[in-house]
Amino acid sequence: MIKIRGLKKNFGNLEVLKGIDLDVAEKEVVVIIGPSGSGKSTLLRCINYLEEPTSGTIEIDGMELTSEANINAVRREVGMVFQRFNLFPHMTVLENLKLAPMKVRSISQGEAENMSLELLEKVGLASKANSYPEQLSGGQQQRVAIARALAMKPKALLFDEPTSALDPEMINEVLDVMKELAHEGMTMVVVTHEMGFAREVGSRVVFVDGGMILEEAPPKEFFANASNERTRRFLSKIL
């Protein structure tokens, strides 16, 4: 589904990613963890070209990302959920969901509306369809953001620390939606500090530090006996 080879990214003289190889199979949930500044968010943002890689290749569903045209084509198929939600504040919740399907997929207003309401139902926010984002709590906003990404019927979803900006009591409502998606077989790449989530639904945990993948294993194995020294040090701090 997602195939990354030799991915490097520099910001000026700073080498943030130093050659990443990563594969994500269909229906897999890959959890990326690592200390802040390790490059894990940059890695995620390179997957849909919000950051342009300095070198290396990214292939999504057999299509290599190169030109502007196929970047747009790929972005349609890969949804993204941001740490700070990034809902459109001048639109209602329903309008937030409808916009992209109508403009990009050219589906009708009515069809978009029905689908959007179904998705809001799914994330438990059907009653908020006509509210504006600022009237919702952080957890509710993030659930809307997930629904908005789903409205494009993506083949994969990227999550960039989706619970890091939330008050603790709201984290679970978002994680529950993500777990449900994982159980339904959505392909997901998740950058997070939620180890419980990684353990419960992750197919694989990837540890990134200093711009490189240091360790990659199924969660059970990963948390029980990490082989890399730096991984163990990181885990000992957060567990």
Partner 1 sequence: MNFEIIAQSMPLLLAGAGITIEISALSVGLGLLIGIVVGVCRVCNNKPLRYFSAFYVEIIRGTPLLVQIFVVYFALPMVTGSRVDPFVAAIAACSINSGAYVAEIFRGGIQSIDVGQMEAGRSLGLTWSQTMHFIILPQAFKRIIPPLGNEFIAMLKDSSLVSVIGFEELTRRGQLIIARTYASLEIWMAVAFIYLVMTFTISRFVAYLERRYRND
Stretch that binds partner 1, among 20-28, 87-95, 109-117, 167-175 (CB under 8 A): 87-95
Stretch that binds partner 1, among 80-88, 172-180, 189-197, 215-223 (CB under 8 A): 80-88
Provide, rounded to whole angstroms, the least separation between the CB of residue 28 and partner 1: 20
In this chain, which of 27, 84, 155, 179 binds partner 1, going by CB under 8 A?
84
Provide, rounded to whole angstroms, the least separation between the CB of residue 161 and partner 1: 13
In this chain, which of 5, 8, 76, 199 binds partner 1, going by CB under 8 A?
76
Tell me: does residue 143 bind partner 1 (CB under 8 A). Answer: no
- Pair 162, 141: CB distance under 8 Å: no
* Radius of gyration (C-alpha) of the chain in whole angstroms: 18
Provide, rounded to whole angstroms, the least separation between the CB of residue 64 and partner 1: 18
How many Å separate Cα 79 from the centre of its chain? 7
CB atoms within 10 A of CB 129: 18
Tell me: does residue 139 bind partner 1 (CB under 8 A). Answer: no
CB atoms within 10 A of CB 175: 20
Tell me: does residue 155 bind partner 1 (CB under 8 A). Answer: no
Q: How far apart are CA 22 and CA 178, in angstroms?
A: 22
Binding-residue pattern over the window 21 to 60 for partner 1, x denoting contact by CB under 8 A: ---------------------------x-x----------
Lookup: tokens for 69 = 């045209």
| Angle subtended by helix axes 93-104 and 138-150, to nearest 10 | 20
Q: Any idea of the CA torsion for 16, 22, 27, 30, to the nearest 10 degrees?
A: -50
Tell me: does residue 90 bind partner 1 (CB under 8 A). Answer: yes
Q: How far apart are CA 221 and CA 17, in angstroms?
A: 25
Kindly tell me which of 80 and 198 has the beta carbon lying closer to partner 1: 80
- Within 8 A by CB and 6+ apart from 73, the residues are 63
In this chain, which of 37, 89, 185, 196 binds partner 1, going by CB under 8 A?
89
Kindly tell me which of 50 and 212 has the beta carbon lying closer to partner 1: 50
Tell me: does residue 11 bind partner 1 (CB under 8 A). Answer: no
Tell me: does residue 86 bind partner 1 (CB under 8 A). Answer: yes
Kindly tell me which of 88 and 221 has the beta carbon lying closer to partner 1: 88
- Within 8 A by CB and 6+ apart from 172, the residues are none
Tell me: does residue 107 bind partner 1 (CB under 8 A). Answer: no
Residue keyed to tokens 């919702």: 136
Q: How far apart are CA 191 and CA 111, in angstroms?
A: 33
Lookup: tokens for 156 = 């994969």
Contact positions vs partner 1 (CB under 8 A): 48, 50, 72-73, 75-76, 78-80, 82, 84, 86-90, 99-100, 103-104, 148-149, 152
